[in-house]
Amino acid sequence: MSVSLLVNGEPVDAFVLPRLNLADFLRENLKLTGTHVGCEHGVCGACTVRISGEIVRSCLTLAVQTQGASVETIEGLSDSGEIADLQAAFRERNALQCGYCTPGMLMTAQDLLKQSPTPDREAIREHLSGNYCRCTGYQAIIDAVEATAKARAGRSS
């Protein structure tokens, strides 16, 4: 099937099998390997991307379902500078260790900060609860998101 969409602001026209999921399309066809595949059941969050402004699990989304949509991956958010401060906070607080969950975690954290610019720690914990991390124990991740929220709030005042 033919599919036309925007990926990180760039037009993409491709022929895909109807059963090809978006994660595999991004990784295999477009070589955007920042979208990780962990569980292939939509529960770990490693494959999180944004489709037309909403975060979704790309392992549960068929590539053909993105016809006419705008897809943003971790590469797009990073290249645009949208999450530069969040990335720096993760690095400074050692909120990444093996790094496997980090792209999905960053995508989800940025989504929270767009929805709620000054979330408390419980709101951060709740919003990130669908993203699994086996290495960090989450505390450093929550610290990084909280620090980014505070820094952004300080800049806007």
The tens digit of pLDDT for each residue in 28-83 reads: 999 999 999 988 898 899 999 999 999 999 999 999 999 999 999 999 999 999 99
Answer yes or no: are the C-beta atoms of 128 and 119 closer than 8 Å: no
Confidence (pTM): 0.92
For residues 25 and 55, state if they share a domain. yes
For residues 7 and 72, state if they share a domain. yes
For residues 115 and 137, state if they share a domain. yes
The tens digit of pLDDT for each residue in 111-147 reads: 999 999 999 999 999 999 999 988 888 999 999 999 9
For residues 59 and 92, state if they share a domain. no
Asked if pLDDT for residue 152 goes beyond 90, the answer is yes
For residues 96 and 116, state if they share a domain. yes
Answer yes or no: are the C-beta atoms of 75 and 26 closer than 8 Å: no
